[in-house]
Amino acid sequence: MTFYHLILYLQEKLQQTLPGRQAHNLMISSDRHREFYPIPENAKKSSVLMLLYEKESDIKTVFIVRPAYDGVHSNQVSFPGGGFDSSDGSLEKTALRETTEEIGVDSNRIEIIGGLSELYIPPSNFLVKPFVGYTNDIGMLIPDQHEVERIVEIDVKNFIGTHNIKMRKIRLSSGLEFDTPYYDVANLVIWGATAMILREFGEVCSGIEL
């Protein structure tokens, strides 16, 4: 499937019923299986962007690796994104703004295709809305000096199917330890909310060949 046909495919599929929680639960860690997390009224709205583009004849998406810090998402792999600001006007605009800030891609060069299912992240109290977008001109990727340790570009075919999904034990800075499924790609451990979003994207794209 060409990049152009993938975009057309996603424009249609993302308007249909999404796999949502069913897909998310396939990548959920053992500590979250122990209890149900209702979404609290004070959950912080946020969004992320899965940005698709063609490079060297491959269809890629871009991730950021967070720097080490004293927080729940230290060193984790994620999509560009962050908290909603009232000046954004919408969560879609939040995702575009954060993408420009964190990896240097001009939001005017990005077209939003649609959204995936929102998910709640208990440790940080974020309610995340993932968007999928594309660009025909990725340009130079420039990491934010404070929020991004490094940028990683990965072929999206790595997230269609289950061939790169493994299990491992994760230990957080708090001392909490648990087993979790993750994507083993590009020498990265992609787990948590990012893995849940990727699993839903993979389910949406199941049956296609890239």
**Rounded to a whole number, what is the distance in angstroms from the first to the last CA of the chain?**
5
C-beta pairs of 65-73 under 8 Å, 24+ apart in sequence = 65/148, 65/149, 65/150, 65/151, 65/152, 65/188, 66/147, 66/148, 66/149, 67/146, 67/147, 67/148, 67/149, 68/149, 70/173, 72/123, 72/124, 72/172, 72/174, 73/124
Mean residue pLDDT of the chain comes to 91
Q: What is the mean pLDDT of residues 111-137?
A: 95
Domains and CATH numbers, the chain: 3-204 (3.90.79.10)
Task: Provide the pLDDT confidence category of residue 35 given band limits of 50, 70 and 90.
Answer: low
- Residue 160, strand partner residues: none
Q: Give the side-chain half-sphere CA count within 13 A for 198.
A: 32
Q: Is the pLDDT of residue 36 over 70?
A: no
Q: What is the pLDDT of residue 209?
A: 87
CA 208 to chain centre: 20
Q: Is the pLDDT of residue 20 over 50?
A: yes
